[in-house]
Structure 1
Amino acid sequence: MNRALRWTAWTVAVVVLLAVVFLVWANVVMQGTRSAALQVWRDDRVSVRDAGDSVVMTPTRSPDGRGIVFIPGAKVDPYAYLATFREVVASGTTVVITKPTLHLAFFDTRPLATFQAHAPTVRTWAVGGHSLGGVRACQLAKDADGLLLLGSYCAEDVSRSYVDVLSVSGSRDGLSTPAKVAAARHLLPTTATVTEIRGANHAEFGAYGDQPGDGRATISRADARKQISDAVRAWIRGVPPGSDLH
């Protein structure tokens, strides 16, 4: 009886310790670069507000009635994506960046409607994500008009859906590598737009510094950010990739 009690006590202690370690690990996030975020806050073309469960970016001029619910990568601060979407929002599209449960997209079971409610005037919605956030976005794509993957790929088959897909990857991405993105291409509709940014790595899809395991970028963050923004804006407007948007 005493031996059984000791084993039970040890088991409970180990489980509790592992739970504490996991919670501490999950809550140590990759913070957004302060200077990049502040530039967006000061941009009079973009309004930024914290809605509690998400960060809402809305255009202050000529909204186009379109919106994107965007899911961050694992343990990445939502504010790290303000700079990524600055020009997208300034062009008229609303972006709602979620705050996933425990900073991990797979633990967030809330439907898209939870985040869409923050922008009731938006008529057409896409769902997107970076890295693990993109994998989760694929699971929610059936409830959206569009699917946006940044440095990510689907783990489930959406190839037979009518969702409009844009996949933007980096040739120097050490996590969502070109090989992984190519291997999952058959899971997307044949009509998907697939764009690779030469020289971009995984962390350049946000503004949060370097990431362990990533490749070394050969283009600047500013250059990568512009190419990402241009690709997303072209997709939203339905113009061919590489077209002059100005």
Structure 2
Amino acid sequence: MRILWWTLGIIGGLIVAAVVAIVIWSQVGVYQAEPEPLAAVKADDRIVITDDDAGILMQPAEGGSDVGLVFIPGAKVDAWAYASKLSGIVAEDNVTVVITKPWLNLAFFDLRPLGSFTALAPEIDTWMVGGHSLGGVRSCMLASQAQGLVLFGSYCSNDLSTWKDFPVLSIGGSLDALSTPEKIADNRHLLPADAEMAQIDGASHSSFGDYGLQDGDNTPTISDEDMIDQLTQLVRSFTPQLQ
């Protein structure tokens, strides 16, 4: 019995140590939002921003939005780092956006259903779910709770290939060194046959946000302004399929 309790104590100690290590790791080296793009979004009078514990709500100031996007950030990237790149979708396309704040800065640890985020804009009936990098992988797992899926420099790990009448848009970057064009192509079979596949020339992995160059990534050749424009245009052409 003494040996049993000793063994259980060791196992319990290892579990506690592992949990503490994960929590510490999740808080160290987080990519923070670059101040200038964020300041520009906050000063944009076409967008109303509400900061909530669950996420950042971005709404068109003139109202009238009937489509929403729940966007899940990449691993250890500040949610605010995506506000600028998604701003055109809100201001020009009249789409309500919720950028989630994943638990421990890691989407895989955030088990909340999509409704935890769509509740921030209950007037919206039609929702897309999407995300960047690891956030995109998580969004695939929540796809059944939405009317459409948008991947930003990401790909699915679960099989959605048999889904019918479910619109999917995958946006990659030609210079993405993490979710490379090859990796996206290799995982194409997990998406429905009619999924729309788009690639932005000159975009790297970190081009989908504003948090500096990510470790292991290529240097982008596309400007931030052009990146915003192309993301806005791609989502604009995609949203009518949700109706």
Decide: shared fold, TM above 0.5.
yes
Farther off after superposition, 55-64 or 30-39 = 55-64
Higher relative contact order (CA 8 A, sep 6+): 2
Match of 1:59 in 2: 60
Distance 1:20-1:160 versus aligned 2 partners, 3 A rule? same
Shift of 1:142: 1.0
Distance 1:5-1:180 versus aligned 2 partners, 3 A rule? same
Shift of 1:192: 1.2
Q: Is the 8 A contact 1:63 1:93 kept in 2?
A: no
Is 1:199 equivalent to 2:207 in the alignment? Answer: no
RMSD: 2.0
Distance 1:2-1:135 versus aligned 2 partners, 3 A rule? same
Farther off after superposition, 9-18 or 38-47 = 9-18
In the alignment, the residues of structure 1 paired with residue 118 and residue 224 of structure 2 have an alpha-carbon distance, to the nearest angstrom, of 30
**Could you tell me which amino acid in structure 2 is paired with residue 142 of structure 1?**
S
| Count of residue pairs brought into register by the alignment | 238
Q: Is the 8 A contact 2:85 2:227 kept in 1?
A: no
Question: What secondary structure, in the 3-state scheme, does the structure 2 residue paired with 1:128 have?
Answer: strand
Is 1:25 equivalent to 2:25 in the alignment? Answer: yes
Once the two structures are aligned, what percentage of the paired residues are identical? 46
Match of 1:180 in 2: 183
Shift of 1:159: 1.6
Match of 1:241 in 2: none
Match of 1:231 among 223, 229, 234: 234
In the alignment, the residues of structure 2 paired with residue 3 and residue 115 of structure 1 have an alpha-carbon distance, to the nearest angstrom, of 48
Distance 1:168-1:220 versus aligned 2 partners, 3 A rule? same
Match of 2:172 in 1: 169
**How do residues 114-153 of structure 1 correspond to structure 2 at under 5 angstroms?**
114-153=116-155
Question: What secondary structure, in the 3-state scheme, does the structure 1 residue paired with 2:212 have?
Answer: coil
Shift of 1:166: 0.7
Match of 2:217 in 1: 214
Distance 1:8-1:64 versus aligned 2 partners, 3 A rule? closer
In the alignment, the residues of structure 2 paired with residue 160 and residue 212 of structure 1 have an alpha-carbon distance, to the nearest angstrom, of 35
Query: TM-score when scaled to structure 2?
Result: 0.90
Q: Structure 2: any 5+ residue segments left out of the alignment? A: none
Q: Is the 8 A contact 1:72 1:98 kept in 2?
A: yes
In the alignment, the residues of structure 1 paired with residue 3 and residue 127 of structure 2 have an alpha-carbon distance, to the nearest angstrom, of 59
Q: Structure 1: any 5+ residue segments left out of the alignment? A: 239-246
